[in-house]
Amino acid sequence: MKNPVYYEYRRSGQLGMLAIVLLATLGAALHYFRSVEQRVSQTTAHLQALSQQLDAEFAPVLAFSQAMRRAALSKLTLPPLPTGPEPVPLLQLADGTVHDSSTFTDPQIQAELQMLDQLKPYFELAEQTQPHLLAIYYFSEHGFVYHGQPKWSDYVSDQLVSWQRSHAAEPSYEREQIFYAEFISGQAALSLPLYQSDKKLGRLVFALKLQPLLQPLYQQYADTEFMLLDQSGELISSSVASRLQSVNQHMLQIQRLRTMPWSLGVLEHKTSLFAAGLADFVWHWLSYALLLGCLLLALQYRYRRRTLSAMNRLLVHIDRLSKGQTQGVRHVPDGWTEVFDKVASLAAPDKPAE
């Protein structure tokens, strides 16, 4: 006699394997999406930390520049000195030549020169007090540049004349700080315009050394690709030496800086991001499949020992009784004694009446 429970046992095993595959896939998928989210969150945390560090590094420079502009505006209100300002070399932006300030007799120019003479400590101590400042320049609306040094180098003179021609005029509505990603070679610049009675006198331009400012921060997160972007999204600086071959293969997250109108971006390879998530997916799938598979095997083993084997013996017992044997099977499984006795009593011949 065939055991019908055996077929149900096999069907249950197949359904159990299918359930294992589905549950393992579901659990691994949840872990996969969670790992990708954690990776993105970690990158975002790194980006925020780096932007805060960059703001903290640049905040003293910004405070110094604002203090210098306030000092310049206050000096412009002072009366002219009887001795006049000390003669200094001034770069003429029109032709790139250097002239002595004593050749200028215009009262407005003399007022600016007196202001610059009293601001000499700012020009002289800028690099010592602010390590990210390389130099300070004053661009006058009268066409000259002052830099607080006794001499002008030909290279700096040519670079300033070229830069002034490409940035001849600032927006008339802009009276606050203006950042320039490109100034003299390898430098950025911060420009602060000076106005007196709604008349523009000139602007203070602070030359910034970006690479020494960014390099320690890049090294702190050496395994992450950061880049500094200007207002229009153009690249200013990057921790990646080589240019990207394909932008489509990267994910870009951007964090706006607080102290400057630039943004800090972090690049994440799509392949590395999803490959790491895929590795987690496979690992968790195998883990879930192994655990659920062991559970299924244990349940099947117990079912086979406690139910299927007992059912087989019951069928053998019934088969023997049907052939006229009075005893059937000798060894009755635990817990099945009452069932076997009931079957034996039903199969026994009726006793003759006395």
Q: Which CATH number is 166's domain given? A: 3.30.450
Residue 297 is assigned to a structural domain of this protein: no
pLDDT band at 169 (very low <50, low <70, confident <90, very high): low
Report pLDDT for 353: 42
3-state secondary structure the chain: CCCHHHHHHHHHHHHHHHHHHHHHHHHHHHHHHHHHHHHHHHHHHHHHHHHHHHHHHHHHHHHHHHHHHHHHHHHHCCCCCCCCCCCCEEEECCCCCEEEHHHCCCHHHHHHHHHHHHCHHHHHHHHHHCCCEEEEEEEECCCEEECCCCCCCHHHHHHHHHHHHHCCCCCCCCCCCEEECCCCCCCEEEEEEEEECCEEEEEEEEEECHHHHHHHHHHHCCCCEEEEECCCCCEEEECCCCCCCCHHHEEEEEEECCCCCCEEEEEEEHHHHHHHHHHHHHHHHHHHHHHHHHHHHHHHHHHHHHHHHHHHHHHHHHHHHHCCCCCCCCCCCCCCHHHHHHHHHHHCCCCCCC
Q: Are 327 and 301 in contact (CB under 8 A)?
A: no
Cα-based distances in Å from 169 to 90, 231, 232, 313: 20, 18, 19, 102
How many CA atoms does the CB half-sphere of 341 hold within 13 Å?
5
Please name which of 212, 286, 252 lies closest in space to residue 57, comparing C-alpha atoms: 212
Residue 261 is assigned to a structural domain of this protein: no
Residue 132 is assigned to a structural domain of this protein: yes
| For residue 49, pLDDT beyond 70 | yes
Q: How far apart are CA 288 and CA 294, in angstroms?
A: 10
Count of all residues that appear for the chain in the document:
354
pLDDT (average), residues 70-80:
88
Report pLDDT for 303: 83
Per the structure, the complete domain to which residue 160 belongs is given by 60-209
Residue 33 is assigned to a structural domain of this protein: no
Summary mean pLDDT of the chain: 82
Q: For the chain, how many structural domains are there in total? A: 1
Report pLDDT for 246: 52
pLDDT in tens, 270-324: 666 666 677 788 888 999 999 999 999 998 888 877 777 777 777 777 777 777 7
pLDDT in tens, 11-30: 888 899 999 999 999 998 89
Residue 237 is assigned to a structural domain of this protein: no
Its pTM stands at 0.70
Residue 346 is assigned to a structural domain of this protein: no
Residues contacting 119, CB < 8 A, separation 6+: 68, 71, 72, 75, 148
Residue 144 is assigned to a structural domain of this protein: yes
pLDDT (average), residues 242-262:
72
Residue 353 is assigned to a structural domain of this protein: no
Report pLDDT for 331: 75
